[in-house]
Structure formats: C-alpha cells, structure tokens
Amino acid sequence: MEKTFVIVKPDAVQRGLVGEIVARIERRGLRLAGMKFMQVSRALAEEHYAIHQGKPFYDGLITYITSSPVVAMVWEGNKAVEAVRQLMGATNPTAAAPGTVRADFALEIGRNLTHASDSVENGTTEVALWFKPDELVSWQRDGERWIFEK
C-alpha cells in the first residue's frame, strides 16, 4: 500500500501540536506504519533537504529542522501522499487553504509545522532514509474495508 513520510517539525513539537497533527491524519483514515520522536542530525537534515541546497532559505531550513526534536512518521493508505499533502496545505501558510494544518496553526513559510512527501517516489525514498525496515509495522485494522474500498 502507498506510504508517505511525515515530519512534525520542531515548531509544532514545541507548540504542543503533535496530537493535533497526528489526529488529523488518523481520522482521515490513513494507517500508521512507523513513528519516532528524535533529534535530527545535521547529516540527516542535509540528505533529506538535498534538493534545496543552494537556495536562499537552505541554511535556515537546516537550522530549523535540527533546532529541537521532531516526530517522524510513516502513514499508509490508498492515495496517502496526496491526502497528507492536502491535509497540510500549501508550503506558505498564508497561501494554504483554510482548514489545513498550515492555515489553521501557522503564519510563516519558515515555521510551517510539517513536512510531507510530495510524490509516491519521494515517499518511498524518504521512508527508506528515515526508517530502518524493522522500525515499520505491517498490520491490519479491524474494519479496514470501511475505509479502503480495495
């Protein structure tokens, strides 16, 4: 089943928004496959955000993501990548749709609370970067067929 990688970033942890963000993904119907509370190393941050190297906000982004602990998670379900991106909203919180995490709780692009994979391919890469295979749990929920048609 499709997997997506999500980070509850340092600002969200510091502001006590872990439960709020997890609850929104959970109630959508996605299934948790992995979760850990961790301090991000500079090396991991640089690998995760390699695509942004050289951009004006890159140094600030690395400082931000390594500044305080995060919650790293893997969620799965049909269309998991698209569904979680939709829940989080546009990168810039003031451009995000009302009702999304970023619109409801954030103001600035450099303090936008969450990361979520932007494609199925990147989801696979990011899950492998952040989680060892034995840190992921393969399981079924009772009543799964009432959420996933197939």
Report what 57 binds from ligand IDP, Mg ion, none; CB cut-off 5-8 Å by kind.
ligand IDP
The single residue of 12, 66, 115, 127 carrying the catalytic annotation is 115
Rounded to the nearest whole angstrom, what is the least distance from the CB of residue 60 to ligand IDP in the complex? Answer: 6
Rounded to the nearest whole angstrom, what is the least distance from the CB of residue 138 to ligand IDP in the complex? Answer: 27
3-state secondary structure (DSSP) of residue 140: coil
Are 89 and 102 in contact by the 8 Å Cβ rule? The answer is yes
Q: What is the CA radius of gyration of the chain?
A: 15
Asked if 57 touches ligand IDP (CB under 6 A), the answer is yes
Q: H/E element holding 75? A: strand 70-76
* Cα 116 to Cα 126: distance, rounded to the nearest angstrom: 10
Task: Note if 115 is an active site residue.
Answer: yes
Rounded to the nearest whole angstrom, what is the least distance from the CB of residue 122 to Mg ion in the complex? Answer: 8
Q: Using CB under 6 A, which of the segments 24-32, 53-61, 74-82, 141-149 binds ligand IDP? A: 53-61
DSSP code at position 61? H
As annotated, the active-site residues are 115
